[in-house]
Homo-oligomer: A and B are copies of this chain.
Amino acid sequence: MTDQPKFAQIKQHIIDKIRAGAWQENQRVPSENELSDQFQVSRMTARRALSELTESGVLTRSQGLGTFVASFKSQSSLLEIRNIADEVKERGGNYTCIVLSLESISAIAPIAIALGVEMDSLVYRSIIVHNENDAPLQVEERFVNPALAPEYLQQDFSQTTPHEYLTQVAPLTEARHTVEAIMPNEEICQWLDMFNEEPCLQVIRRTWSSHGIVSFARLISSGSKYRLGGHLTFKK
């Protein structure tokens, strides 16, 4: 308890004050100099406590003015989108997958646009079902820019996931996601082994490498079996 680093002790002190309500939203907290006096540390150490709490969204700072307790109103919480294979393994499930399709197709307009290639040019497409304990959990339809991953079709995706392979051959520099609720079509119902139509979570992910758009993936999971989770806390 007591042999925590000094900057961590100061962080904890600030968090305690906020939790206890002693320092309210938008109220000023002690300056770097005040803290370094109070805790008998150098300014750099006090500064580190304030900087890290600012980074994690607990405080806001502005030059010349001071440091303040952040207003919760403006806080946005974060949700994780994780690798589904890792998730399954982490909760002790048995992860398997089935490659339903691995081919090259002619890009219709929306695919061509999403991948940044010419319309009707050839692109690669894979469809893979991810299973947990042999029950389908998520279907992944992925379109790949052949210029950036020419050997995509030769891979064995029952051993290594497309995402893993692609990050090796074309280092990832950027990714964008959207999440929405959709009704699956009949095909997807079959793949996910759903008897009745039920709503699904659809994650659309586009990934970039330094040479352009690498791939465009639709990850569809049954709404009742899969959910995204997030957690926001003040303990850190």
The chain A residues found within 8 Å of chain B, CB to CB, are 18-21, 24-25, 55, 71-74, 76-83, 86, 161, 163-164, 167-168, 171-183, 198-201, 205, 210, 223-224, 226-235
Contact = CB atoms under 8 A, between A and B. Distances in A.
Contacts of A232: 174-177
A164 B73 CA distance: 6
Q: What does DSSP make chain A's interface, helix, strand, loop or mixed? A: mixed
A175 B77 contact: yes
A79 to B, nearest CB: 4
A210 B19 contact: yes
A129 to B, nearest CB: 18
A227 B179 contact: yes
Nearest to A52: B55
Given A83-B74, A179-B201, A19 B173 contact: yes
Contacts of A235: 174
Nearest to A175: B232
Given A181-B182, A228-B79, A25 B167 contact: yes
A79 B25 contact: no
A80 B83 contact: no
Contacts of A176: 229-232
Nearest to A180: B227
A175 B229 CA distance: 11
B181 A199 contact: yes
A25 B172 CA distance: 10
Given A167-B25, A168-B25, A199-B200, A178 B78 contact: no
A192 B24 CA distance: 36
Contacts of A164: 73
